[in-house]
Amino acid sequence: MSRRDLVGRLLLSVTVLSVAMAPLTADLNESHIYNSDWPPHARFHTAVLMLLSIGLSLIGLWLLWRRTSEFRTYVFVAMLIPVLSWGSFFLALLLPGTGAEDVPGELPRVVGLPVNLFVAAMFILVSVVAWWLSVSSQGGPASARHPAESER
């Protein structure tokens, strides 16, 4: 494994883990799942999303670190987990009645964005860069195999 591949997979591991950790830290509290104003069914959906996020993160880590002849495909699919998860923050804003914050201006801003959208954008960017680092270290199609496969 090259240094570039290792850095890419380590960075991608962080972004994949963020998919599980973000809902646990942001939603497992009185403002979301334990909010007495929320009906039980809304809490149910929040719990489902948290558990799904944990499962997706575990799958992403497995994809990143297993030995396979389909290394590029596995790393690409692992990269899609944080890109789609964090990207959904922006897509959700297209639905009528949604907002990135309860009260406009209540969240701190970073480069004009509410902090949650800025964090989402950064995780997407880091995921794509990490994917590129990992797969570009493998060379062209002739060396698309994971280095560990050629040792067998």
Helix, strand or coil for residue 36? coil
Rounded to whole angstroms, how far apart are CA atoms 48 and 60? 18
SS3 90: helix
**Residues 60-107 pLDDT 10s:** 999 999 998 899 999 999 999 999 999 999 999 999 999 999 888 899
Angle subtended at Cα 61 by Cα 76 and Cα 137, rounded to the nearest 5 degrees: 45
Residue 143 token pair: 């060396």
pTM for the model: 0.87
Which two three-digit tokens encode residue 145? 């195999």
Question: Residue 40: how many CB atoms within 10 A of its CB?
Answer: 6
Is pLDDT of 145 > 80? no
User: Is residue 151 very low, low, confident or very high in pLDDT (cuts 50, 70, 90)?
Assistant: very low
| Domain map (residue ranges) of the chain | 3-140
Any idea of the CA torsion for 70, 126, 14, 152, to the nearest 10 degrees? 20
pLDDT band at 1 (very low <50, low <70, confident <90, very high): confident
**Mean pLDDT throughout 20-30?**
93
- Cα-Cα end-to-end distance for the chain: 14
5, 106, 136 from 71: Cα distances, Å: 11, 43, 12
Q: What band does 142 get if pLDDT is binned at 50, 70 and 90?
A: very low
Dump pLDDT digits (tens) for 102-129. Answer: 888 899 999 999 999 999 999 999 999 9
Cα-atom radius of gyration of the chain, to the nearest Å? Answer: 18
User: Chain-wide mean pLDDT for the chain?
Assistant: 90
Q: What's the pLDDT at 152?
A: 42
